[in-house]
Amino acid sequence: MIDEAVRSGIAFSLAVLGLVVIFAPLIAERLRIPGLVGLLVGGALIGPNVLGVLDDFTSLERIGEMGILYLIFLAGLQLDRETFIRYRGISIGFGLITAAVSLVLGTAVALQLDFEARAAILIGSFWASFTLIAYPVLQQYDLSKNRAGAAVIGASAVTDTVSLLILAVIVGLETGDRSGAGLLLGIALGLLALAAWCLVVLPSVTLWFFSTLGRGRVLRFMLVLVGLTSAAVVAEVVGIEPLLGAFFAGLGLNRMIPNESPLMDSTDFVGNALFIPAFLVSVGLLFDPAVMFVASTLWLALWLSIALVAGKVVAAWITGRFYRLAGPESGLLFTVSVAQAAATLAGTIIGFEIGLYGEDVVNAVMVVIALSLVITSVGTPRFAERIEQPAAEERRLGEKVVFAVRDAGGGLVSRLRLAGEIAAASGGVVLPVLVSVPEAAGSLSDSRRRVAQIDDELHALGLEGETRIRVDRSVAEGIVNAVIETDGSLVVLGWAGPRPVTGIFAETMASEIARNVECPVVVVTAVDTEPERAVLIIGERDLQGWNLDAVDAAVKLAVALAPERRLTVGPLAEDEIAAAGIELPDWVEYESGGHDVVAWAEQVSNPGDIIVAASRGRPSERTAQAIVDGGNSVIGVTPGKAPRWVTGDPARRFASRRR
């Protein structure tokens, strides 16, 4: 037998945890049971109430507490903010509906079981919230951009807040510390303080750290961990549920850590390998079959389960009908929101400690939690696989910005900053690529030396990413292959100036790359000045049918750069632009002018501003040179592989392509 001192040590606990995490999901999947259920059953088997492998699981319980915080943090960190904003109505609506319906049904059932009013309301509040246990399944099926997936993630914060408010008020009234109004005011101030820390202070500190001290991946990951734990601590200090602090911390760092970045890979890996499985195993450790499977406990658990399941089903059905969701989407709302864990356990224990009910409720709630986790583990994958992603979902320009490095100087930092802004607008990442041509003497060794400098400049801007070296027959071919391998959404090239007269018939590198990739290619010359506005050039020549693809890409690029500054469009008049089917946001400024785009650009811009225009070959090079001489940054946009020639009205063609 293993000595008791050894069994109580952290090494033994971690070894047992590792074996459960490895083998429990494998055995469960062989039995056609979800891996999440396998972890729960594995935790129950090794716990003190079954096999007794772990009699003292305090250390493992602490890791599990970190696991649920990590799970909720990842949900906020990886949330597609653009999709969430687009479907925020569904998210808030579902959150309020599921909280209200579940609260009412849960309270009504508790009252019918002869609980006092305050105890009944507290029990009803347990089912008002839910835990995102099924978040890894949403990741697996790539549902972050689906309206149901985005809605249920955002709704978890709404329901947790509602449940928290009810818990705080009930506890305050029961203990007599403060009045209901005082409690609500304290919670409101606590939420403001938590939001300020997570959404203002934490991103600012992280950006400073990333661009100064924390240029290594280990240091950056440790700061992310500190950000998560500090948000949980701040939440506890101000009287808010730490889970809400973890979610807010994820939202605050959302733009700082793109989903495609190496840092996100590390963050996601640590959570899925250790913390999240540890949480599920630690929940299983709490199950005690000898207590849970008593007739009185099962009877109480039956009614509480009916209240929980009925509330979630009704809420999902109402939301689906009101927002016209497909059947599998409504089913996903139910199976994800039915899961109960951390918040429910915390509320149950608090209610027991202040004397609102006895151990029978605690045991019954454990049964309900077990049932809810089985439902969410089994049901979520079945509905998720039936949800079809919208075929017409348009890719964002900044998802994966391939930054082609042709030299280490000449405005490298300014171009990197612009590429970072484009990527940040889409929650994307910058992927620097340095191509080495074997025929050039010393090319590869020189490239290796320059990688460190490029990465240093990249990290100094607070950006995530690592420079890649490609060996290829030519620079253009190397960039094309890099775009294909990384599934790039945009290529950023530096501009070497106008072509000489001898090269008038030669193909530019931008056009050669654009001819072989499906994403737009932009040629940038940037000045090292903080721009006050972006200027989008749309002239009469841009309305020719063959050039509308470039205009479309230029519009998207200019809008992506505009959130931090003003956007001025011209010299074509607003009605002429609208008549061509070119759609622009309502907040842009229009400045009509004459046919001389250079004179117009100089008139509406200040030195250092960003000028965006569709690339049209040699005439646009002369225009770009004139604008650069005026002290402005210029971005020339070339579309990717051109579609088939289309005849007819340009406006109709432009509008049909956008649909």
Instruction: Check whether residue 325 and residue 421 sit in a common domain.
Output: no
Instruction: Check whether residue 354 and residue 414 sit in a common domain.
Output: no
Which CATH number characterizes residue 259's domain?
A: 1.20.1530.20
Instruction: Check whether residue 425 and residue 359 sit in a common domain.
Output: no
Q: What is the mean pLDDT of residues 388-396?
A: 63
pLDDT in tens, 627-643: 776 677 788 788 876 44
Q: What is the mean pLDDT of residues 261-275?
A: 88
Instruction: Check whether residue 124 and residue 261 sit in a common domain.
Output: yes
Task: Specify the pLDDT at position 658.
Answer: 42
Higher pLDDT, 551 or 7: 551
Q: Residue 397 falls within a domain, yes or no?
A: no
Q: What is the mean pLDDT of residues 223-239?
A: 91
pLDDT in tens, 530-565: 777 788 888 777 776 556 777 888 888 888 887 666
| DSSP type of residue 134 | T
DSSP string computed for 175-211: HTSS-HHHHHHHHHHHHHHHHHIIIIIHHHHHHHHHH
| DSSP type of residue 502 | G
**Three-state DSSP class for residue 633:** strand
Q: What are residue 522's DSSP bridge partners?
A: 492, 637
Task: Specify the pLDDT at position 649.
Answer: 42
Please, what's the largest Cα pairwise distance for the chain?
93
Instruction: Check whether residue 379 and residue 419 sit in a common domain.
Output: no
Q: What is the mean pLDDT of the chain?
A: 81
Instruction: Check whether residue 642 and residue 527 sit in a common domain.
Output: yes
Instruction: Check whether residue 356 and residue 415 sit in a common domain.
Output: no
**Three-state DSSP class for residue 648:** coil
Spatial distance between the Cα atoms of 462 and 460, rounded to a whole number of angstroms: 5
Q: Residue 391 falls within a domain, yes or no?
A: no
Q: Are 127 and 166 in contact (CB under 8 A)?
A: no
Please, which pLDDT band fits residue 652 given cuts at 50, 70 and 90?
very low
Task: Specify the pLDDT at position 378.
Answer: 87
Which of 366-385 are b and which e, b meaning 16 or more Cβ less than 10 Å from the residue's Cβ?
bbbbbbbbbbbbebbbebbe
Instruction: Check whether residue 29 and residue 172 sit in a common domain.
Output: yes
Q: Whole domain around residue 574: which residue ranges?
A: 410-429+480-658
Instruction: Check whether residue 41 and residue 173 sit in a common domain.
Output: yes
Q: What is the mean pLDDT of residues 461-467?
A: 81
Please, which pLDDT band fits residue 440 given cuts at 50, 70 and 90?
low
Instruction: Check whether residue 361 and residue 281 sit in a common domain.
Output: yes
Total count of domains within the chain: 2
What is the percent of the chain where pLDDT is above 70?
87
Q: Residue 586 falls within a domain, yes or no?
A: yes
Instruction: Check whether residue 337 and residue 425 sit in a common domain.
Output: no
| Amino acid at site 655 | A
**Three-state DSSP class for residue 644:** coil
**Three-state DSSP class for residue 285:** helix
Q: Residue 646 falls within a domain, yes or no?
A: yes
pLDDT in tens, 473-532: 888 888 899 888 888 888 888 876 666 555 555 667 888 888 888 888 888 887 777 777
Q: What is the mean pLDDT of residues 396-401?
A: 85
Higher pLDDT, 34 or 503: 34
Instruction: Check whether residue 291 and residue 417 sit in a common domain.
Output: no
Which of 55-72 are b and which e, b meaning 16 or more Cβ less than 10 Å from the residue's Cβ?
eebebbbebbbbbbbbbb
Is pLDDT of 447 > 80? no
Nearest to 530 by CA among 417, 416, 422, 401: 417
Q: Residue 469 falls within a domain, yes or no?
A: no
